[in-house]
Amino acid sequence: MAQLPLDLGHLSALGRDDFLVAPSNEAAVKWLERWPDWPRPALALHGPPGSGKTHLAHVFTTRARAAGVAAAFVEPATLDIAMVPNRVGEARAVVVDDANRAPEQALLHLYNLVAERRGHLLIVAAEPPSRWPIALADLRSRLLAAPTAAVSAPDDALLSAVLVKLFADRQVTIGADVIGYLVTRIERSFAAARAAVAALDAAALAEKHAITAPFARRVLKL
């Protein structure tokens, strides 16, 4: 594989794939590395779909467990005010993904429960809480007081590094020209990168063909 000029750091995920650090996510990574020394019980992590927010949220729970802190990952559809204590158990590090879709009373109850335990709540959504139409005044005041960290769509360097890693994970040898071709044409998201690599790997295996830029153009119709 040709050497690519990718000067990126990484955040050890302690059991998950390392999370590559780039300007698009550096601020969010610094907040996670600062845990548990957060100024408020909650942190709001926001960014567009495919930017790596959920991956970072899983890194947070994995790191919490490695530090001996019980952690829980909650989807909004499962968050009901009567079931909050059962849903999170003894967790003191809790993630709510797509948190803007969670019932407000249940989210407030969860916030208060985690705060009482001197724990931390990671709120994950596409937009920061300041842009949510929050009707419940107590919830709004708590979330607006929480620090926020933005994750933007991956830049060229990060997307290139992700593509290199995805191909390497499949033990596929790839050239820098293919990476450059894909970076300029696929949607700028991790989901798009995973889909492109999976499609190219499957087609290459089926046709017993090396993955080249012309092959990628034909298979992906880019």
pLDDT at residue 16, rounded to an integer: 43
Residue ranges making up the domain that contains 94: 25-150
- Alpha carbon distances (Å) from 186 to 25, 58, 97, 138, 221: 20, 25, 25, 42, 10
Helical ranges in the chain per DSSP H: 26-34, 53-66, 84-88, 104-116, 137-145, 156-169, 176-183, 190-207, 213-220
Q: How far apart are alpha carbons 197 and 181 in whole angstroms?
A: 13
Q: Are residues 198 and 163 in the same domain?
A: yes
Q: Is residue 115 part of a domain?
A: yes
The pLDDT tens digits for 144-165 are 999 999 999 888 888 898 899 8
Q: How far apart are alpha carbons 99 and 63 in whole angstroms?
A: 21
pTM of the predicted model as reported, rounded to 2 decimal places: 0.77
- 86 phi/psi in degrees, rounded to 5: -70, -35
Q: Is residue 112 part of a domain?
A: yes
Mean pLDDT of the chain: 88
Element containing residue 42 per DSSP (H, E): strand 42-46
Q: Is 187 exposed, middle or buried (0-12, 13-18, 19+ CB in 10 A)?
A: middle
Q: How far apart are alpha carbons 146 and 137 in whole angstroms?
A: 15
Query: What is the average pLDDT across 187-203?
Result: 90
Residue 11 has pLDDT above 80, yes or no: no
Q: Are residues 40 and 104 in the same domain?
A: yes
Query: What is the average pLDDT across 9-17?
Result: 43
pLDDT-above-70 percentage for the chain: 91
Q: Is residue 131 part of a domain?
A: yes
- 95 phi/psi in degrees, rounded to 5: -115, 135
Q: Are residues 102 and 199 in the same domain?
A: no
The pLDDT tens digits for 113-148 are 999 999 999 999 999 999 999 999 999 999 999 999
Q: How far apart are alpha carbons 191 and 197 in whole angstroms?
A: 10
Q: Report residue 180 as tokens.
A: 């450059």
Q: Is 70 exposed, middle or buried (0-12, 13-18, 19+ CB in 10 A)?
A: middle
Q: Are residues 45 and 116 in the same domain?
A: yes
Q: Are residues 186 and 118 in the same domain?
A: no
Residue 191 belongs to a domain with what CATH number?
1.10.8
C-alpha of 35 from chain center: 16
pLDDT at residue 18, rounded to an integer: 63
**Count of domains observed in the chain:** 2
